[in-house]
Amino acid sequence: MKVVVTGGGGFLGSHLCEALLARGDTVRCLDNYCTGEPLNVALLQGDPRFELIRADVSMDFDVPGHVDAVAHLASPASPPDYDRLPLETLWVGSRGTENALRLAQRHGARFLLTSTSEVYGEPLFHPQTESYWGNVNPVGPRSVYDEAKRYAEALTMAYRRSRGVDTGIVRIFNTYGPRMRPDDGRVVSTFVRQALAGDPLTEYGDGSQTRSFCYVDDLVRGLIAMLDSEHSGPVNLGNPDEFTVDELARLVIEATGSSSVIEHRPLPVDDPTRRRPDITRARDLLGWTPRISLDTGLRRTVAWSAAGRRPVRRSSSGEPVEA
């Protein structure tokens, strides 16, 4: 296929570009690098089937030639980023999503929206199924991201119902792996950076809040399965194994061999206390389940971070090796 990936220079987008190229697709990667990095796709630029286009998808844009699929991943995706870029986050969720939908409509292409588990807010039901409407604070500090994604979902379904665009929605739960920025504010990248430096690991709250951590390779398999399907979704993509933040901190200390201690700080406003996906729909419709354990995924992430975040290729087993 000929696939456009918005946000393709980001953590998740770059892995999707790599996986699409590996199976023989042609990829046009669009990014304005407000949170992505050119380094993420450095090894892809020698491939004649890969094209990097510097563009802000919140503005009108087009790409030359035919398009079979549009994967819309562009957005800041961690609290420090959308705190720093609140309007940009709202714009890419609204204008950016519509521009990407119009591109798909013009070409009769499949459209994939990467939404988020944040649409569930502070969930009143556990685990979260796709039928749960969520418990989101629409004016809180996280609302620029939560509501941008909720609007993007509504817009995607409106284009499907009223204009016949072939759309699909996935809701992504906590994902981690190589190419996460050390300062992006997500818990895995923060803990790994602190542990490698021998600094205290900062836990917010008492560490009892839970998350479900999905390794990036597993998540990308789910994205491609949804891209190749005809399902509209939404479909949860995440690892249903639930860990407390305190358990994660101790696993990172073990994986890095660090002597770091754990320090506690106040829990941020609207930070969810429990998060775990019900992936029945992904399993039944897409045949998708995660394969990589948290231990294995953390070891790979730590190896990449300890190597200085250089571009890496992967062995057949998924292990990072020198480029």
Question: Hey, where are the domains in the chain?
Answer: 2-322
**β-pairing verdict for 312-314 and 320-322:** antiparallel
Q: What is the pLDDT of residues 62-114, one digit of tens each?
A: 898 999 999 999 999 988 998 999 999 999 999 999 999 999 999 999 999 99
* Reported confidence tier of residue 323, pLDDT bands at 50, 70, 90: very low
**To the nearest whole percent, how much of the chain has pLDDT over 70?**
95
pLDDT at residue number 314:
52
Show the tokens assigned to 94.
């609204």
Using a 10 angstrom Cβ sphere, with 0-12 exposed, 13-18 middle and 19 or more buried, the burial of residue 54 is exposed
Q: What is the pTM of this model?
A: 0.92
- Among 82, 120, 145, 159, the active-site one is 145
Q: What is the pLDDT of residues 167-183, one digit of tens each?
A: 999 999 999 999 999 88
Q: Are 34 and 88 in contact (CB under 8 A)?
A: yes
Instruction: Inform me whether the pLDDT recorded for 319 exceeds 90.
Output: no
Query: Rounded to 5, what percent of the chain is helix, strand, coil?
Result: 40, 20, 40
132 catalytically annotated: no
The residues near 240 (Cβ < 8 Å, ≥ 6 apart) are 127, 212, 276, 277, 278, 279, 290
CATH 3.40.50.720 given to domain 2-322: yes
The residues near 296 (Cβ < 8 Å, ≥ 6 apart) are 215
> What is the identity of the amino acid at 286?
L
Q: What is the pLDDT of residues 108-117, one digit of tens each?
A: 999 999 999 9
Q: What is the pLDDT of residues 201-215, one digit of tens each?
A: 998 888 888 889 999
Instruction: Inform me whether the pLDDT recorded for 47 exceeds 50.
Output: yes
Show the tokens assigned to 38.
């050119």
Q: Rounded distance, CA 150 to CA 70, Å? A: 19
